[in-house]
Amino acid sequence: MAGDSVTFRIDGELTIAKVADAFSRFGKVLQALEHDLAAHVRWVLAGLDYGSAAITARAEPLDDDAVPKIVAMTERYLSAGREVLRGRPDGAQPLLSVVRDLTELADVENRVILETADDELIFTAPVSPSPRPAATPTTRSLGTVRGRVETLSHRRGFRFTLYELTTDRPVSCYLQADHEDLMRDAWGHIANVTGVVTRDADTGRPLTVRRVTSVDVVTEGEAMGFLRARGVVGGNEPADAVVRRIRDAG
């Protein structure tokens, strides 16, 4: 399910200065991808998420020669990350140098994630000599994640961001182009999204949902509907009145 977009995400509590620095380094990676494949493209903003600072960039071709190179660029984004993870020397490859510089932002409090429609890499520490492992293991299985649907991006497939209810952290979700009807009336609502879920192996936190098979909107009910709740013993007295009466009697 190769696409035309790449995503950079950095977790944890962040200052504006650190976000600006991180996005600047990401911009250098995008420029290096162009030069690495001699592709004339324009990178446009396709997604900007909160919770974890995340930015998605989509490549738009500036000439016919660039069209077949776009998918190769998104694949190269992750392959360069894997080469850095294996400790391959930068050598004469500017791309590896700037990818390594980007992943140097990773530490105990701020994980760095490189993501495409096909896969992701999670860095938890700089790759340079370190006693800690530099990458986080992940698990992948069929499952369902519940959250609020936001940030839709439609081009050569469908990407949307789901903010998981338990953590309020963004989860990237990817639809095939012919499954767009699954998103009908889902934007802004709480939904159960089912597909292949990639999770952090250590915490179980969902990171992405790919090959989405269903998006089921959850009925949220009325905002103040709890005021009409009744006790299990029956009767017509509202729950808040019962609680107040018992409190006063005590």
Q: What is the pLDDT of residues 150-159, one digit of tens each?
A: 766 544 457 7
The pTM assigned to this predicted structure is 0.68
Can you say whether residue 222 is alpha, beta or left, with left for phi > 0 and alpha for psi between -120 and 50 degrees? beta
**Domains assigned to the chain:** 5-123 (3.30.70), 138-217 (2.40.50.140)
Q: What is the pLDDT of residues 171-210, one digit of tens each?
A: 888 887 677 777 777 878 899 999 999 998 888 889 889 8
Q: What is the pLDDT of residues 118-132, one digit of tens each?
A: 899 989 877 655 544
Angle at which helices 16-37 and 94-103 cross, to 10°: 160
Q: At 161, which amino acid appears?
A: T
Cβ atoms of 51 and 170 closer than 8 Å:
yes
